[in-house]
Structure 1
């Protein structure tokens, strides 16, 4: 059963969704959460402390003290290709950018940049699985939660994306 907790962050409201104690979704913004709730009516508000470890990690991230998350993740919601992309995203260091093409090459599918983009867009755990660190070779690319969230996350990590040139 899904349970959720809301975290107020400098990014806005973040909804932390767990399923049997494993992090399954992070949802940025109340409107996006309303869409999740419409599809998952059985989701209940988490009991006090149930989501505390992941909340502490998120707070540490936003305080600038955490560079890599260690909380248990549920990647079972994705298809095999998506899961391979998400696992590769977990390897991108804090404050670094890679392109969709870089990810395609790393997973051994060099002609699959567009499919990588689709998998990145389907990431159920933005921030924790750092899809905001993936850009197109000519600019920022997209972000499933909205491009303004991506810009704020990159700024938080000290990335001046406006000065970047991509090959």
Structure 2
């Protein structure tokens, strides 16, 4: 029989964050790339569950999530630490280049920030709306990094988000942990 937590993405998400925090909080100077890559894939997978169908090219899209996580995971096979990854991109002058490891790492970090901000906003506001907490989180995390057109698409996409009750059903959760 499968462990019930295997079917509860928020429990998996919580464990992934704990693992990532332990890795980062360890007093070692070097942070291995593989652990953050694994941990970051869970929040982005969770976020995709709530993604509106109209957001195929956004942070929520499967192609975005898996392309960026795959890039960091592949990089971990030849580059051992985050510091080495950043130094390599700095030396190659590719830090700001689309598709670079460091830029993909930044995108993943912002995706995790978005998920964190959504949950903080859900806890702060209560109610059954996902649209309002997600809209506020988008403004907190992404607004300054997106152009006008992407901001408008993101704003419109918020109207197709499920309610929290619908989301809990979709991910086999009861929402009690949020109260």
Mark the structure with the bigger radius of gyration: 2
The alignment's TM-score, normalised by the length of structure 2, stands at 0.26
The alignment's TM-score, normalised by the length of structure 1, stands at 0.27
More strand by share: 1
